[in-house]
Amino acid sequence: MGRRTLIAVLAVLLVAVQAEGAGRKAFKAGGSFSTVQGLNKGLTFHAPFDDPSNPLKRYSGGALTFTRAHDATHTATYVHATTGLVTVADNNQLRIEANGALIEGASTNLLLRSDQLDNSVWDHRLFDGQWNYTASANDTISPDGTLNADTLTTASAEYSHARTQPVTLSANTVYTMSAWTMPGTDNSDGKLVVAFGNGGTFVSYELSGVLPTTAGWSHTLFTFTTPASGYDGAEAGITFDSNVIGKTTYLWGVQVEAGYGGSYIPTTTATMARNEDYLTAPISNIDNATGSFVVRVDQVSNRAALNAARVILGGGIENNGGFYFAGGFDDVTAILDASGNARFQVASHGASVSPLNVGGSWGGTDKRSYIDDVAAADVTFSGDMGFVRAIGIGTYNNTPAAANSLWGHVKDLRIWNRVLTPAEFQMLQ
């Protein structure tokens, strides 16, 4: 080989290596890996949800189907990926946030007048045991970009102030309280609070140190378990421990819901619910005998300790089997067969990490699965995967339920009709 030929070959190899590195970097950043030679071979479906400019882009595989019905008693909001504002979603609209497609289970906001702190429903003062705030209505720009947030001001030289409302809670049950908060003249003594019975126990969350995220506002939430028994009713709201008149704070979008909490559900004269997000991908171009997938997900921060199944890909085969979280973000159990047996098991990750890349393949002699770059032991099975209906994304197909929803973001989903090599899987992690 001549010197000029050798130089030319080395130059080509250098360009190829640079392109591969750029492709891996782009994928991790939420971009395309189309620059990686051969990686698109057999790619039948692609949905980069964390690309707000084109959230439903795909190479093939047909259109996604999404439902989340709205009516007089059901609504949903999300933080818009571009504007950063809390936005009411349209009927059957997939909610695209900066981190990807938001997939949540059903929930209900148990508080009334959630963004009207001046309303008389909030005139309770922790069972009348504290002094009242004064509430100035609609004098501050709220997280939805309109002039509808209220200013709360301490109006007495007495030490404790509160603005709360009664809420019906079940005993020995997990709930989450959340609100959008913004410091006023002094936020150091403010607390979100839930009290149980007159003079009974309470749980609270300090607002001091809460950092703003959206135009000065912060979405603050905390999870608690109600007492097993022995209390007479409950109230939820905000307290302020100060004997200085004129201290201010801002509160909007207050919510109490069963479980570990999710996006804001606005209410007026009655409680309001949110239906589950139900997103599916068709199986018309997915090979039952041979295939692979890589999906990148993250979780809502408050759900890091949730030890319950959360689906990555569900349904598509008998018994609603699918790839799902078996215990937080630590383990993932892969596709189940009609008898409920695992086709293969994804290795333990060892820590709750977000975002998370999960991959798997079926068919041939390679039946592998990955969490990030950790490979699991192969598990053999006979026959094809038996896909018979559309695959749920972030929920089971046909049986969506709050307990099994992802409660987080699907950032990127890719499905191939071939088995990816170990090197390809690791390139995508």
pLDDT at 329 (0 to 100): 43
| pLDDT over 80 at 80, yes or no | yes
Per-residue pLDDT band for 72 (boundaries 50, 70, 90) equals: very high
Which pLDDT score, from 0 to 100, does residue 6 have? 45
When pLDDT is averaged across residues 143-169 and rounded to a whole number, the result is 89
Going by pLDDT thresholds of 50, 70 and 90, the confidence category of residue 16 is: very low
| Amino acid of residue 113 | R
Is pLDDT of 20 > 50? Answer: no
CATH 2.70.98.70 fits 38-105+276-427, yes or no: no
**The amino acid at 328:** G
pLDDT of residue 273: 97
* Higher local confidence (pLDDT), 400 or 259: 259
Tell me the three-class secondary structure of 107-130, residue by residue: EEECCCCCCCCCCHHHCECCCCCC
pLDDT of 369 higher than 70: no
Of 33-42, 306-315, 341-350, the one with minimum mean pLDDT is 341-350
d(CA 285, CA 282): 7
Question: What Cα–Cα distance (Å) separates residue 126 from each residue in 111, 116, 123, 195, 229?
Answer: 15, 18, 9, 7, 19
Distances (CA, A) of 305 to 273, 300, 308, 329: 24, 11, 9, 9
Instruction: Render pLDDT for 95-148 as a digit per residue (tens, 0 to 9).
Output: 999 888 999 889 999 999 999 999 999 988 777 767 778 899 999 999 999 999
Dump pLDDT digits (tens) for 193-207.
Answer: 998 885 568 888 888
Could you give the CA distance from residue 394 to residue 66 in angstroms, rounded to a whole number?
12
Q: 0.85 exceeded by the pTM?
A: no
Range(s) within the chain of domains with CATH label 2.60.120.260: 108-272
CATH 2.60.120.200 domain range(s) in the chain: 38-105+276-427
Burial of residue 71 (CB within 10 Å: 0-12, 13-18, 19+) is exposed
Q: Which sign does the torsion angle of CA 252, 257, 263, 266 carry?
A: negative
Say what percent of the chain tops pLDDT 90: 24
Predicted confidence at residue 31, as pLDDT, reads: 38
pLDDT of 92: 92
Joined tokens for residue 150: 């209220």
Alpha-carbon torsion (194, 196, 202, 203), positive or negative: negative
Q: List strands edge to edge, sheet with 310-315.
A: 65-67, 278-281, 391-393, 310-315, 322-327, 331-333, 345-346
pLDDT of residue 180: 92
Q: Give strand pairing partners of 257.
A: 176
**Contact partners, residue 70, CB within 8 Å, separation at least 6:** 76, 89, 90, 91, 92, 275
Mean of pLDDT values over 35-54: 75
Note the CATH architecture for domain 108-272. Answer: Sandwich (2.60)
Q: What integer pLDDT is reported at residue 355 of this predicted model?
A: 72
Helix ranges restricted to H, 35-188: none
> pLDDT at position 113, please?
97
